[in-house]
A = this chain, B = another copy of it.
Amino acid sequence: MRYKIENFIRGAMSHILLWMVSIVCLFPLVWMLSTSFKRMDEVNTSVLTFWPKEFRFDNYVTVIREAHFGQYFMNSVFYTSLTVLGVLTFASMAAFVFSKFKFPGDRLFFYLFIGSMMIPIPGAFIPLFILLIKLNLVNTRLGLILPYINSGLAFAIYLFKGFFDEIPNELLEAAELDGCTKWKVYRMIMIPLAKPILATVSIFTAMAIWNEYLLALVIMISRPVLFPLQVGIMKFQGVHITDYPHLMAGMGLATIPILVIYLLLQRFMIKGVTAGAIKG
């Protein structure tokens, strides 16, 4: 129906609610941008003015020039893209098996996966770190990417399985009659159809990995040359005094790739979530 809001009061109230929530949600972004154009002394005197006295682009120039920006950036691209690839591959295959095959213990397996989403993040860090030491993977690229993939799998399997469950079995049966093996069903039917989930999982995984900070700092502890961007730009954060303008400029720059990915992929993203319980 999409009500027309005939009534001014109702309209105004909705707007006020939305503006309030918007402002709260968007405050960090705005502050980040505003600060990135300020000078250090301006930040100290008026942290909460949103409009800088003058727009200083040289914070950005300094960040790119001084902070090994290119190198950190490429590291981040490498970690993020490999993680996304790994998560997509393993999760889609596991979800296909969960959704369309029948085998003893299928439900138990699935709940184990979902259960593994519930483990507290700090709780997962420490065992991981110890495992990586034992495997000699600390301070290596692989040592960062493997736990990254691990961290994204459960939620991705959950999304993929939900989607595959909705693909009517007749489609798979038709493919079988047309001469497809199970593997071809996966590759030629399930994966092309799962575009919205591929996009959604890519966006969420890329976002989480691109912005990840803590695990990278721990695992790359003695190899700063392998730092991802988010760790790299933290050199502007001191123990006592933080160089906000440069830090924010770095963060602003770091946000751009993820926004680009979002803008590229969002039209493929899933549009809705269903419970199958609405019809009635």
A126 to B94, CA, bound (A): 39
Interface centre among A32, A126, A214 (most CB of B within 10 A): A126
A168, closest chain B residue (CB): B278
Q: In the complex, which residues of chain B have a beta carbon less than 8 angstroms from the beta carbon of A242? A: 126
Q: In the complex, which residues of chain B have a beta carbon less than 8 angstroms from the beta carbon of A102? A: 2-5
| Contact yes or no, A22 B113, CB < 8 A | yes
Q: Which residues 167-206 of A sit at the B interface, judged by CB distance below 8 A?
A: 167-169, 172-173, 182, 193, 195-197, 200
| Contact yes or no, A274 B103, CB < 8 A | no
Our pick among B31, B154, B258, B278 for the contact of A25 (Cβ within 8 Å) is: B154
Q: Which residues 34-58 of A sit at the B interface, judged by CB distance below 8 A?
A: 35, 47-48
Q: In the complex, which residues of chain B have a beta carbon less than 8 angstroms from the beta carbon of A234? A: 122
- The secondary structure that dominates the A interface is helix
| Contact yes or no, B122 A278, CB < 8 A | no
| Contact yes or no, A159 B273, CB < 8 A | yes
Number of residues of chain A lying within 8 A (CB) of chain B: 99
Looking at the assembled complex, report how far the CB atom of A12 sits from the nearest CB atom of chain B, in whole angstroms.
10
Q: Which residues 259-274 of A sit at the B interface, judged by CB distance below 8 A?
A: 259, 262, 266, 270-274
A47 to B35, CA, bound (A): 46
- Tell me, yes or no, whether A128 is within 8 Å of chain B by CB: yes
| Contact yes or no, A120 B254, CB < 8 A | yes
Please judge, given known A-B contacts A29-B119, A118-B259, whether A150 and B24 are in contact too, CB under 8 Å. Answer: yes
A10, closest chain B residue (CB): B182
Looking at the assembled complex, report how far the CB atom of A148 sits from the nearest CB atom of chain B, in whole angstroms.
12
A117 to B110, CA, bound (A): 28
| Contact yes or no, A31 B116, CB < 8 A | no
User: Can you list 28 pairs linking A and B with CB atoms under 8 Å apart?
Assistant: A2-B101, A2-B169, A3-B102, A5-B102, A14-B101, A15-B103, A17-B97, A18-B109, A24-B153, A27-B131, A27-B150, A28-B123, A28-B127, A29-B115, A32-B126, A115-B262, A120-B258, A121-B211, A126-B242, A126-B248, A163-B275, A165-B272, A195-B277, A196-B275, A197-B273, A270-B274, A271-B274, A273-B273
Which 3 residue pairs spanning A and B have beta carbons closest together?
A31-B127, A196-B275, A28-B124
